[in-house]
Amino acid sequence: MAIKRVRAHHLAQMKADGTPITMLTSYDAITTRIFDEIGTDMLLVGDSYANVMLGFDSTTSVGIDEMVVATGAVARNAKRAFVVADLPFGSYETSHEDAVANAVKLIKAGASAVKLEGGVRMAETIRAIVNAGINVVAHIGYTPQSENALGGPRVQGRGDAAEQIRQDARAVQDAGAIAVVLELVPAPIATDITRELTIPTIGIGAGEHTDGQVLVWTDMAGMSDWQPSFVKVFGEVGMALKNAAQAYNDAVRSRSFPDSDHRFNQ
């Protein structure tokens, strides 16, 4: 049966059925309508909003008020997709009270779940948010909000560190997370974790055997100057937009636009 609106139990069912879960980031009304209409299962209002849309160097620069605005734009325009909103850096580490209060803001803006970064170290925070009746998606492996502590984007869980990633995965599931993002985790470890957990795993740079995949939409659409090696560009949207804007500029400069077919009839 076609899903009218994706809910947490549908994601669990998709894992059980072996149906791959699709997730893309989205930060505004226009892209949300497009991704939602084509049936993308999950939309992530990621804190990558900071880099992608606001032009900051780091995800840590975005705050809860900006995330609330972006979440509202996405949630108002997603008819089917399950909307996940990132709790930004500094909005949940300080206390369980802050974490719950900020998660409530994102849910009031229309999110179906909040996402936060961290495994074992964040398990009690996840539990507190879940106890407030809020769905939590966890994010482990490479966690961009800790980029300074982790020494920049790099694969996590190689060698002895694999056990830490496994413990993180178990801890977030035990704390009540409904799904977990695995970022830059070696594929064999992501595969083992996917087999072991009962909640869906969503991979980014974590191989092909996770229950779902997520990409930053501007990366997969060819809108970024640079993308990591695990990203596939599925369309040259950046080039198409450049060409359209160039054609518009040329037409205005040559006075071939507006023309007789494109005039407001007075």
* Tokens describing residue 144: 């961009």
CB nearer to ligand KIV: give 55 or 159. Answer: 55
Whole-angstrom Cα distance, residue 83 to residue 26?
9
Catalytic residue among 66, 97, 147, 183: 183
CB nearer to ligand KIV: give 72 or 205. Answer: 205
The upper half-sphere exposure of residue 256, i.e. CA atoms within 13 Å in the direction of its Cβ, equals: 6
27, burial (CB in 10 Å: exposed 0-12, middle 13-18, buried 19+): buried
Contact between 204 and ligand KIV by CB under 6 A: the answer reads: yes
Among 181, 189, 190, 223, binds ligand KIV (CB under 6 A): 181
Among 73, 106, 216, 223, binds ligand KIV (CB under 6 A): 216
Contact between 48 and ligand KIV by CB under 6 A: the answer reads: yes
- Whether 165 and 189 have beta carbons less than 8 Å apart is answered as yes
- Whether 138 and 177 have beta carbons less than 8 Å apart is answered as yes
* Tokens describing residue 178: 């409904």
Q: Which stretch binds ligand KIV (CB under 6 A): 5-13, 42-50, 63-71, 249-257?
A: 42-50
Minimum separation from the CB atom of position 67 to ligand KIV (A): 10
Among 6, 40, 74, 86, binds ligand KIV (CB under 6 A): 86
Asked if residue 97 belongs to a known ligand binding site, the reply is: no
CB nearer to ligand KIV: give 36 or 219. Answer: 219
Whole-angstrom Cα distance, residue 187 to residue 119?
18
Element housing 193 (H / E): helix 187-196
Asked if residue 48 belongs to a known ligand binding site, the reply is: yes
CB nearer to ligand KIV: give 11 or 44. Answer: 44
Asked if residue 91 belongs to a known ligand binding site, the reply is: no
Whole-angstrom Cα distance, residue 196 to residue 134?
24
Mark whether 183 is an active-site residue: yes
Asked if residue 147 belongs to a known ligand binding site, the reply is: no
Contact between 46 and ligand KIV by CB under 6 A: the answer reads: yes
* Tokens describing residue 153: 């984007």
Contact between 180 and ligand KIV by CB under 6 A: the answer reads: no
Q: Which stretch binds ligand KIV (CB under 6 A): 43-51, 165-173, 226-234, 246-254?
A: 43-51
Angle between helices 123-131 and 162-174 (to 10 degrees): 20
* Tokens describing residue 245: 């804007």
Contact between 24 and ligand KIV by CB under 6 A: the answer reads: no
Partners of 215 in beta bridges: 24
Pairing between β-strand 179-183 and β-strand 201-204 as defined by DSSP bridges: parallel
Question: Which residues are part of the catalytic machinery?
Answer: 183
Residues binding ligand KIV (CB under 6 A): 25, 44, 46-48, 86, 139, 181, 183, 204, 214, 216
Q: Give the residue ranges of the annotated binding site for 3-methyl-2-oxobutanoate.
A: 47-48, 86, 115
